[in-house]
Amino acid sequence: MQYPANKPVADFVCQQCEEEFELKAKDVLNPTLVQNRIMDGAYATMIERITSLRNPHLLFMTHYRAQVANLFMIPKFFFVPEIIEKRKPLAITARRAGWIGCNINIAKIPKTGRISMITNGLPRDPQQVVSEYRKAELVRISNIDSRGWLLDVLCCIEQLPAEFTLRDVYSFTEWLATLHPNNNNIQAKIRQQLQVLRDRNFIQFTAKGVYHKL
């Protein structure tokens, strides 16, 4: 069901699950071009929505010559402040001088959290879309700090083969340290997040220091 125009939080609500959705759309000249950034509203409002856990699921659509080219969903539990980029304040000559907007950098979101529904003008199998959403739900976590760590480690794992080792994940230690400069024991945190992913049936321990993606 579509909400009335100008509702500040969301555009649609599902009458069955009562989940809310916000739709962003963009007209593109090249329908196959990958969009890494989505322009959004006020930076402070977006950060407040994420940290207070009031953000809706995001639907992003690109259209080309009045036809839908691509449509994908980012579940709300894949949002963390680190993916929100602050834009420059509007010039003093602008009507809203000093206003600061933001972009959503979807390149920082794990692939698991980018669920395609229409690709290059072709709708995907609904059952496959639902299956991918259910997999994404395995890493659903409310605590923002814990969510950030879990999604960062998940990004690392997605770059590894189906079978990988603890040493493979340790190879991302330096990168993770740049994201979490206040943590002095990165490898212990990696092990903790692997445990969480195992408990949520996202990965499986097959031997000491050896893992398998489920």
Instruction: Please tell me the predicted confidence (pLDDT) of residue 156.
Output: 97
Which residue do the tokens 């972009």 mark?
103
Class in CATH terms, 1-137: alpha beta
pLDDT of residue 101: 95
Residues of the chain with CATH 3.40.210.30: 1-137
Q: For the chain, give every residue range classified as CATH 1.10.10.10.
A: 141-214
CA dist 126 to 11, 100, 129, 132, 210, Å? 21, 38, 5, 10, 34
**What's residue 105's pLDDT?**
96
Looking at the DSSP bridge assignments, the partners of residue 86 are: 102
The CA-atom distances, in angstroms, between 27 and each of 31, 49, 69, 80, 190 are 9, 26, 9, 26, 40
Q: What is the dihedral of CA 68, 120, 38, 158, to 10 degrees?
A: 150
Tell me 32's DSSP state: T
User: Is residue 50 predicted with pLDDT exceeding 90?
Assistant: yes
CB 11 within 8 A of CB 2: yes
pTM across the whole model: 0.88
Q: Give the domain 141-214 fold.
A: Arc Repressor Mutant, subunit A (1.10.10)
Average pLDDT over residues 145-160: 96
Reported as a single tens digit per residue, the pLDDT across 109-144 is 999 999 999 999 999 999 999 999 999 999 999 999
